[in-house]
Structures are given as C-alpha cells and as structure tokens.
Structure 1
Amino acid sequence: MAASAAGNPAAAAEQKAASAATMPLKLQAVIMSGAKPIQRNVSFQLERFDKGRREMVANLTGGVADVKLQPGKYRLTTAYGATVIEEDIEIRSAKDLPHEVNLNAGEIGLRMIPRNGGQAVTTPIDWKVLSYRKNGKGERDVVFSANAAETEVVLPAGWYLVHANENGKLTKHTIEVGAGTRYVYTLVRK
C-alpha cells in the first residue's frame, strides 16, 4: 500500500523539497551578441537528459519564455525562421539563469525583376535557399523554400546559393547573410 503525503510527514517533506528545487528559467534569443531579445516567433524546446533517457519538459513559442525546471542536464532547441540552434545546458543553481541563445543570424528578402530597372515580378516564384557547401553526398542541402513573388527568411550568418525557378526558367545567385543585418536581394531574371 502506498503512503500518501498527507499521512506520511517524510513523504510530504520530500514533495515540498522537490517542488522547492525547481528554478525559474528565463529563455531568450538574440539575433546577434549584444542585440535586444527577440520578442516574437521564437520557439524553445527543452528535453531533460536523465540516465540516458530524454524526456520532453517544455515546448514554448513566442518571444522571451519562462519555465520552471529542476536542476539537471537539458537539450535546448531554439528555432527562429530557418535558424535552428541546439545546445546542451546544465541547470545547477540560480546563477545559471537566465539563458540567452545567440542565433548569430540575419534576415534576407528575395525578389526578382525581369530586367535592370524593371519592376518586381508579382507572380509566384519557387524559391530555394541552398547551403553553399556541399554535403557528404556532393549535394547542397535545401535550407529554406517558398512559393511566392517575394519572400523573406532568417538564416544563420554565412554564404548560400539561391535558386529562383519561374515557370521552368532557373535564376541562380550567391548571397551572404550577416549576423544582425537585413539584406534584400533583387535577382535579375536570366
């Protein structure tokens, strides 16, 4: 027969100590070091590592997030746009809080014009942003895709290759994404 906390002072003390051991963790993401925290469209996922097992403990969206955690080791996955950062964190005491995730990312806008000096195309285009470096199979990974006349996305800082497919006509362009910056790339139809 299991002892209830109400009838067993030792069990009640254990439950109280366990709940007191939780600490409030404030999670926030910044586009680059020194920037203000992003206030919306960020998702945080926390998994606890416990004796070789992983257990989902929080899945939060919005901007700055608050969660109460017990001390231990966690895998934190932070996503904003097409930028995803995974990191292992350990919560031991209040000095480990809050936790800031540096996305080291930037925002890009993509649009196309039919010729130099022309107006932006208003019909949908199949956009693909590909990794600049090839993977182990000798191919580029698709990092982001959209079907729209114009699109924008947040990407980790670095170099990428853009493919714009407009009714079977492919236009390619190499782009750079800088941390904390916003670039709008205008491709000229090939």
Structure 2
Amino acid sequence: MRFLLHHPHLLLCLFLFTLSLCRCGEDDDDLPATLNSLSIDEQSSETAAAQQHIYAIEKMHNLPRGWFTPVIGHTDKGVERARQHVRRGGARFSLLLPNPSDTSKGVAYSVFSNKHPETYRLTHAVMLIKLDKNRRGELIGEAHFPADLSQSDAHEALVELERYAQSPDDIFLRLFGPNALAV
C-alpha cells in the first residue's frame, strides 16, 4: 500500500484500467440495432450465406463461378443504397428460394448501378435482401461486377441479370408481405 501511495500515477492507471474493463461490458446504444443485435459470428454466417446465393445467381445466369467480387456484407452505406434502389421507380427484383419447399423464406436480388461520389466512376452490383414472411426485408450483402469489365460486357450482364426480374408489387409482396422490401 505504501508503494502505491508513493506512486499515485500507478494507482490512477489501475483505476482507469478497471473502469475501462467495466465500460467494455456495456451495450452501445448509439450503434444501429442490426449491429447491436448481431454477433460477429452471425454477421460472418450471413455473409457466407450471401456468398452462396451469389454462386447460385452466377450459375442461373451462366456466369463463371467467382465472376462477381466477394460479397460485402451488411453495411450502413449498403442499406442506404438498397433503400434508394427500392424507392426509385422501376426497380425490379428476382427471387431465390434456397429451399423450394419453404416459400416463407427467400432472397430477393436486384442489379443496381452506383456512381462513386468522388471519382464519378459508374459501378454495377447485385444487392441481396433476405425475405421472411410478414417481416421487414434485411440487406445481407452486395457483390460487384468485375472492375475490368468493358461497358458493353457490363450492359450484357445487366440485361441477363434483369431477364427474370419483376416489379416488387408482384410475387414479393404477395408471398412475403408489404414490408418485404422495406429494408
């Protein structure tokens, strides 16, 4: 004890260290609910599932496996892009049913284009929205077209990927409810 009294800075460091350990155990209410409620394992699992959906999309559209970039999981910017895409008139979606005998769960995917705010470079990607009957849809990720794709090849891919797409008013709202695409 006498040692600590002669070295108050050590006592202060010990106190601050203990305080920081207590603070680490608290929830951060400033984080979005999705980040607060999903563990790292759950986020990794969702991203891995989204990657499997991308492989299925590549196969359905006769694209080579690994044609898209690896999936970028749920991000705040991705959610904002998804919201803007859903709200814009004419957005069309295709449906994946991972288990065809269970139509209460699915994945909507849609092609979108995004202009980078600084470089003004146009990029194309596919967004994936997890659907559960009568629940709000949840963005689980996006995968981008190859960066070295020519403009004509990108256009061909866009046409191919939108070939089976439908307006959200059709099957999505009927199967999954009015909030299916309300990410």
Pair in the same fold by TM > 0.5: no
The structure with more strand, counted as a fraction of residues = 1
The structure with more helix, counted as a fraction of residues = 2
